[in-house]
Amino acid sequence: MEKSFRYIEVKADTPFERGFQYGKQAADLIACGVRNYRDYFAGKGWTWQDTSEAAMRFVPDIEACMPEVLEEARGIAAGAGRTLEEIMLMNTRYELTFYPDKPQECTTGAVLSEASADHCAYMIKNWDYKPGILENIVVLHIEDSSGLKILGVTEAGQMIREGFNNRGIGIVNNYIESIYDTIGAGIPVCFIRRRILSLSSFDEAYAFLTTVRRSVSNNTLLVSAQNQAIDIEANPKGFDPIKPIGGIVTHANHFVVDPDKDRNTWEKSPKNRNIRLADLLYRRRGTIDIPYLQECLRDHEYYPYAICNHCNNGDMTTMNSVMTVASLIFNMTDQYVWICKGNPCLGTYTEYTL
């Protein structure tokens, strides 16, 4: 196993060409991802026609709201030698896996300048998902003709999902599931994330996140290089914001502002990781640095429901378990990120500069 994720660099004037370059460089990983999800959904009783129709149902809304991002998806398909249906499956797996099941995914946080040792703003995440995608994750760097640069991670074939841009905007995300979630129309989460990372200001990003039409819930932590942060618990009927306290905010996989919106029970979704991360960060408020952030993301308190989440059956190819597949520390002020492949307690962080 390689110690770090594949690095893909894209630079083009048009959305289609950017997608094409990405798809061509990641073609083998995309092919593997498509097979994984075909098999996964088949195991849930879904035929390929079922998944294709469900994924393509989102296309008209995307075309109306953000045609340039849909064009990027078409480019990915062409570059990788796949169909648009297959790329849409990759980019709507969040919405589609709502229906069969979802694992508990991700712990996120922000540390603003007043809480950090170097007075920089940080954005952090442990991405928890299926071990079977570990070798299909890529570090993606995108540049367009306007001078916009974006850097982050994603599953090969998906729009970039966690990252930041050189205009000072960054996002990390958490799965949440509300009583209002449906299998329906709207903008898929992957496309929402890609659009946010093309925007130029914190206010613009906040406005989009809180007004875009969606079919399922998602939590987004929005952070800026201008030392701003806000967490947004969004659902199909609205949203609730969570502001930092003392320059620190954290989140995991449950509704904090209005717990009654949460579909998950305490048994299915232990509500401890965001509290544990907040406790660790407040202990060192004002002296938090990168080594300490790494220590926090390696934490095993409350195992097996820990911040550093381990595959519970030892099968690193499975799509039926969960583990920390990537650990991320973004320095929003100085525009670089530390990325660890897999569990941060076992791996090493690699630095990438925007």
**Domain limits, the chain:** 103-353
Query: What does the pLDDT read at residue 187?
Result: 97
91: tokens are 């980019």
CA–CA separation, 246 and 115 (whole Å): 7
Amino acid at 134: L
pLDDT computed for residue 205 by the predictor: 98
Residue type, 19: G
For residue 264, what pLDDT is reported? 66
Q: Is 278 left (phi over 0), alpha (psi -120 to 50) or beta?
A: alpha
CATH of region 103-353, choose from 3.30.499.10, 3.30.1280.10, 3.60.60.10, 3.30.420.10: 3.60.60.10
Cis before 304? omega within 30: yes
Provide the terminal-to-terminal Cα distance of the chain, rounded to the nearest Å.
Answer: 26
Cα 155-160-165 angle, rounded to 5 deg: 145
What's the pLDDT at 112?
A: 98
Give residue 151's region: left, alpha or beta (phi > 0; psi -120 to 50). beta
Question: What is the structure's pLDDT at 305?
Answer: 87
Looking from the CA of 175 toward its CB, the CA atoms found within 13 Å total 20
Strand 122-129 and strand 349-353: pairing? Answer: unpaired
Q: Which residues of the chain have pLDDT under 50?
A: 99-100, 266
Burial code of 309-344, b = ≥16 C-beta within 10 A, e = fewer?
bbbeeeeeebbebbbbbbbbbbbbbebebbbbbbbb
DSSP letter, residue 36? H
Q: What is the pLDDT of residue 182?
A: 87
Distance CA(224)–CA(309), nearest Å, equals 27
- pLDDT for position 213: 96
Percent helix, strand, coil in the chain (nearest 5)? 35, 25, 40
- Sign of the alpha-carbon torsion through 263, 281, 232, 136: negative
DSSP helix/strand/coil, 48: helix
Residue with tokens 């499975």: 318
Residue 68 near residue 146 (C-beta atoms within 8 A): no
Q: Which pLDDT does position 268 carry in this prediction?
A: 52
Give the containing element (helix H, strand E) for 32: helix 27-43
Amino acid 100: pLDDT: 43
